[in-house]
Amino acid sequence: MIDFTTEQLQRYSRQIILKEVGVEGQEKLARARILIAGAGGLGSPAALYLAAAGVGHLTVVDADVVDLSNLQRQIMHQTDDLDRPKVESAAEILRAVNPEVRIEAVRERLCAANISGIISGHDFVIDGTDNFPAKFLINDACVLAGLPLSHGGVLRFGGQTMTVLPRRSACYRCIFRNPPPPEAVSSCSEAGILGAVAGMLGTIQAAEAIKHIVGSGTLLTDTLLQFDALSMDFRKIPISRQEDCPVCGTHPVITELQDIDWPTCPTGCAT
Amino acid sequence: MTEELPAVSRNLVGTGCPMNLVYAKVELAKLASGQILEIILDDGAPVANVAQSVQKEGHALLKREQRTDGSWSVLIRKG
């Protein structure tokens, strides 16, 4: 059992007094290793809340540098951070929020060749990436590695998320077989996003990660949560594992990871 | 009737809400189910809140006894 210091007990007191977290849950959080893919609009709130909650180890993966257009929603980065690698400014603010958390900054773009090595050794993965190939790659890699994952996506005023416990609940590919053709996806000029909407979704993902680590509540497994912040309607869509899922089905065709060619937005309409 | 002897006693006089509950939970976490914790709490909100909260978490409140200095001795059996 961890002997928490007086300062630690005080720092985490408001969640330790929750029956569903408690001292035992705080210990589980302190021992947990969570990976956040993307230090953007979803990864920022998720990482900030996970650091504040006392998750022992956070790995943040992102290859980009901070752009002025990111600051409207990517709240780990500040005006002074322009042109800095996002993982650097992320590591700095996360350490400032909670010096007890070990932060690993990985300045790489996840791809078939590196993802298995990068996600290995973690307890949970938060997908905060901004493109379909990355989302499918993260899903496939997590399913193959048996790693729980929170999928998330936002656009304009809407968001959707689901939590995947590989081979126990529906995965992203059970529902969405392949990335949509590029022409079916909104062009960058149409792909606005309200910062607060990214914040809503990223915090849901952080809450799912914490619930999974402490073992409390009901996860968004076999459930796609969608919301529209304009009407503030939330709906849960029941989903289920598909026998013919190419990655977690009975006869999987995806047994090793492959990169998906897909044109990326040149102006960087990142989440 | 088993004798209600605490395995551990912790004096939380002067510790306000909710830190008194945090410390009570820390002590309870170290005990095995069925063992008894004694906590000493201030009169008023502390004794009312902590006693109620530990019961909601599945522990049994065995005894509450006011001491001569006005503080309370509370015996809790870990659930």
Q: How confident is the model at residue A181 (pLDDT cuts 50, 70, 90)?
A: confident
pLDDT at position A266 is: 45
pLDDT at position A191 is: 80
Residues of chain B in Cβ contact (below 8 Å) with chain A: 18-19, 21-23, 25-26, 28-30, 53, 56-57
Is B19–A22 a contact, with Cβ atoms under 8 angstroms apart? no
Q: Number of C-alpha atoms within 13 angstroms, CB side, residue A152?
A: 32
- CB A122 within 8 Å of CB A35: yes
Residues of B whose CB is below 8 A from A24 = 29
- Tokens 């990214």 found at: A198
Residues of B whose CB is below 8 A from A19 = 56-57
Query: pLDDT tens digits, residue range B60-73?
Result: 999 999 999 999 99
**Residue ranges in A98-252 assigned as alpha helix (H):** 115-119, 132-145, 172-175, 195-214
* Structural domain count of chain A: 1
CA B47 from chain center: how many Å?
8
Identify which of A1, A17, A24 has the shortest CB distance to residue B21.
A17
**From A26, which residue of chain B is nearest by alpha-carbon distance?**
B26
Query: pLDDT tens digits, residue range A151-162?
Result: 999 999 999 999
Residues of A whose CB is below 8 A from B19 = 9-10, 13
Identify which of A14, A19, A23 has the shortest CB distance to residue B56.
A19
Whether A16 has its CB under 8 Å from any CB of chain B: the answer is yes
ipTM metric: 0.91
Inter-chain contacts counted by CB atoms under 8 A, chains A and B: 30
| Catalytic residue positions of A, numbered | 188
CA distance A16 to chain B (A): 6
Query: pLDDT tens digits, residue range A56-91?
Result: 999 999 999 999 999 999 999 999 999 999 999 999
Q: Give A192's DSSP letter.
A: -
CA distance A21 to chain B (A): 11
Considering only CA atoms, which of A208, A74, A225 is closest in space to residue A159? A225
Q: How far apart are CA A235 and CA A161, in angstroms?
A: 11
pLDDT at position A238 is: 98
Is A17–B30 a contact, with Cβ atoms under 8 angstroms apart? no
Q: Across all residues in chain A, what is the average pLDDT?
A: 94
Is B3 within a domain? no
Considering only CA atoms, which of A222, A247, A249, A252 is closest in space to residue A237? A222
pLDDT over 70, % of chain A: 95
Q: What angle do CA A227, A186, A183 make, to 5 degrees?
A: 135
Instruction: Inform me whether the pLDDT recorded for A270 exceeds 50.
Output: no
pLDDT at position B58 is: 95
Q: Indicate which CATH number applies to the domain containing B52.
A: 3.30.110.40
pLDDT at position A66 is: 98
Query: pLDDT tens digits, residue range A2-58?
Result: 899 999 999 999 999 999 999 999 999 999 999 999 999 999 999 999 999 999 999
Is A255 within a domain? no
Identify which of A9, A19, A24 has the shortest CB distance to residue B22.
A9
Tokens describing residue B22: 């945090």
pLDDT at position A184 is: 79
Residues of A whose CB is below 8 A from B21 = 17
Instruction: Inform me whether the pLDDT recorded for A261 exceeds 90.
Output: no
Is A92 within a domain? yes
Instruction: Inform me whether the pLDDT recorded for B2 exceeds 60.
Output: no
Is B36 within a domain? yes
* Structural domain count of chain B: 1
Is B68 within a domain? yes
Q: How far apart are CA A95 and CA A195, in angstroms?
A: 23
Q: How confident is the model at residue A262 (pLDDT cuts 50, 70, 90)?
A: low
Query: pLDDT tens digits, residue range A86-104?
Result: 999 999 999 999 999 999 9
Tokens describing residue A271: 């989440």
Q: Indicate which CATH number applies to the domain containing A97.
A: 3.40.50.720
Is A195 within a domain? yes
Is B44 within a domain? yes
Which residues, listed in sequence order, are joined to residue B10 by a DSSP beta bridge? B39
Domain extent for B25: 8-77
Domain extent for A184: 11-238
User: What are the C-alpha distances in Å from A85 to residues A45, A112, A126?
Assistant: 18, 22, 20
CA distance B73 to chain A (A): 21
Which residues, listed in sequence order, are joined to residue A58 by a DSSP beta bridge? A34, A103
Q: How confident is the model at residue A182 (pLDDT cuts 50, 70, 90)?
A: confident
pLDDT at position A175 is: 96
pLDDT at position A189 is: 59
